[in-house]
Amino acid sequence: GQTDLPPLLLLHCDDLAPLHAALVGHAPRCSALGLPEHRTLPDRVRAFVDDDAEMAAAARWCRERVETHPRGRYAVVLQDMGADRARFETLLRREFDCLAANYDRLPVNFATGYPLGAMPIVRDALRILALAGDEADLEETLALLRSRFIAALPRVTERGETVARRLRELAAQRLPTRLLREGLDELLPPSRRPGPWDAVHVLASRGLRLRQPRYPSAWLEIYHCLLDAWQWGRWVALDSLEYQELQHWEAALDTFATLDDVLGKIDFDSSLTKLRRLLEDQPFQPQTTDRALQVLGPLETTGLSFDGLWIMGLDADNWPAAARPNPYLPLGMQRELRMPGCDAS
């Protein structure tokens, strides 16, 4: 019976769906607890000519706040974390001088991560593997010449620029890897040839032909052989973030090896496409200690309090958010019943 139900306490429940509201109505005693209301107006409202100007000002505000009151808690709310995070992080790193040697010392926690495949050490591993396929992206290949995670290549200067210019004269974004490997041969003196990109032929001499379809778990041996030939990740001092990226990469390969029954035998290019898709779907969020600054989305600030808060993008196009009514129900009925998303309010 109704008297047998325990009392109900609602914590920070801003809006209840009709079903939940009906269930709550059957509780004998119900009370709600929320944060105290702050009726003070924002200390400042600013106008900017564009998004870049506002981001630069917000990044400067973050640095000034942390320098003035290092024990405070501050937050920046981005309207679109997916589109704006990378730009804003770059500006923060410039303000806090964390672009090079102090890369892992940025005093910021981000609410969302990046796709694992976009992280530097994993990205360069994929570039190496792509050179073993039939075709590869020219600019991605040339970017390998600047990678700090590869010990097998000398630090190229003039010779590297000459090779890059000659390859770009072919005026194609994707080139046969045979041409790319021939171009890379010119980076090394004759005494040091063949280069690490020749590992494809070394594998073939051992009977590991890349054109032969294999199960995903069987491709891992070839991946490791190709990366070892480039001395990828060796003799390089990794910071804490890069070490975490490497651990997530190994975990992703373990996951890839479990797809034998799902994918069956696939060729090398198909295996690399599947691996890229797996890495794109896996977000990488580094483990960090509690930091002074939080970068959040609009919904993630619910129930939180800060000593300073900057909400970006409060223009007529973004605030309030556009209505998102249910397309399968009559709009008039949704508004009459005050269903979530039926209008901007």
Partnered with residue 33 across adjacent β-strands are 11
Residue pair 296/316 in contact (Cβ under 8 Å)? The answer is: no
- Write the single-letter amino acid at 77: V
Q: Mean per-residue pLDDT for 12-16?
A: 68
Q: Does the pLDDT value for residue 70 go beyond 80?
A: yes
Residue 307 in tokens: 């000593």
Q: What is the pLDDT of residues 165-224, one digit of tens each?
A: 888 888 788 888 888 887 777 777 666 666 777 777 667 656 667 778 999 999 998 899
d(CA 333, CA 329): 7
Kindly give the residue spans of alpha helices, DSSP state H, lying in the chain: 18-24, 51-68, 81-95, 120-130, 138-143, 158-168, 177-185, 199-205, 216-229, 240-257, 260-263, 268-280, 331-336
Average pLDDT, the chain: 82
Q: Is the model's pTM score more than 0.85?
A: no
The pLDDT, as a whole number, for residue 155 is 59
The pLDDT, as a whole number, for residue 12 is 66
Q: What is the pLDDT of residues 91-145, one digit of tens each?
A: 999 999 887 667 777 888 888 777 888 888 999 999 999 988 888 888 888 888 8
The pLDDT, as a whole number, for residue 131 is 86
Pairing of strands 74-77, 308-311: parallel
d(CA 218, CA 210): 11
**Closest C-alpha to 239, from 138, 101, 145, 337:** 101
How sure is the predictor about 77, in pLDDT bands with cuts at 50, 70 and 90?
A: very high
How sure is the predictor about 1, in pLDDT bands with cuts at 50, 70 and 90?
A: very low
d(CA 242, CA 274): 23
Q: Does the pLDDT value for residue 263 go beyond 90?
A: yes
**Closest C-alpha to 119, from 233, 234, 235, 226:** 233
The pLDDT, as a whole number, for residue 158 is 65
Identify the DSSP state of 207.
T
